[in-house]
Structure 1
Amino acid sequence: MEKLLVLFAILLCISCSDSTQTANKNIPIVESYISAVENLDYNTMESLLDESYQGFGPSFTDYTTKAEAVESWKYNCEYLYENIKYTRNQIAAVRIPEGPNKGDWIANWSELRITYKSGDEATIWANTNYKIENGKIVQTYTFYNEADVYRQLGYGYVKTDVD
């Protein structure tokens, strides 16, 4: 019985180690994507997204496909952003073994300093979770406080009646 328990423990360690190694192999993909964002390089961003890519957030109802994401980045690089810099950047790999979000994920949270072509700046805490399959980003969930960005840019809020 002892030998069986030792064998089970060894197999469990090998299995966990394999999962961690596979998940960690995906970190450079996300690091390349972040570098492309900082360099405003939408061609590299596009090459790292799978054709089936789905992006969610930052608002609950926000959704984008690969084509929409690339088109948005092209526009933003040309007309909106002067510079985006990730600082205090943290990345972690995780494997979700079952359920609707099963797969290999890379979590990234960082401080982003955004400089707009207008000269305005905003600094935000951002969190993006990237699902990786076959060396490509297939899904992301991005979270940041949109209201804080608008506040930093000098916008106020007015409640409107909603029908």
Structure 2
Amino acid sequence: MEGISLGDLLNLEITTAGKKAEKVSEIPASVVIVTREDIETHGYQTLQEILENVPGFYAIDNMSENDVTFGVRGFWSPYSKNMVLMINGVSQLEFVTEFSFPLDKACVPVEAIDRIEVVRGPMSVIYGSNAFLGAITTLLQMSLRKTRQAALFPHHMVRKIRKKL
């Protein structure tokens, strides 16, 4: 998004903040948009890598099986139930366990992501009590701009190996 003017950035529309398309300039919330170009420029390989690089966001990885907790602005929950993750507007709360955030279980290949909308701060009014720290919407590509294929292989339930085909 480096080549976009400030006016164009403020006119971008997102749906995460109010469940309807709204201009960023009209949203009373802290919003970060990560585009396909950002993902390619920085070489992100996982959704976790992308979120770890969102300002005000951080991951706590206890290095145990699927045990990643995210915090926002210095606040975090040991049970990862204070943030909602959506894929194309569909909540992934069913994948949240007592100890992990559903990044691995949602199985979203980075190659399929068109953009990510991150709203930091309380979103409980819109998404319920599970969105106290924020909301993340991952929007997948609707049309294939380039043919991309990748496979994700679990490796001893601790690491994952990504291979582009």
What's the TM-score once normalised by structure 1's chain length? 0.28
Larger radius of gyration: 1
Q: Which has the higher helix share?
A: 1
TM-score (norm 2): 0.28
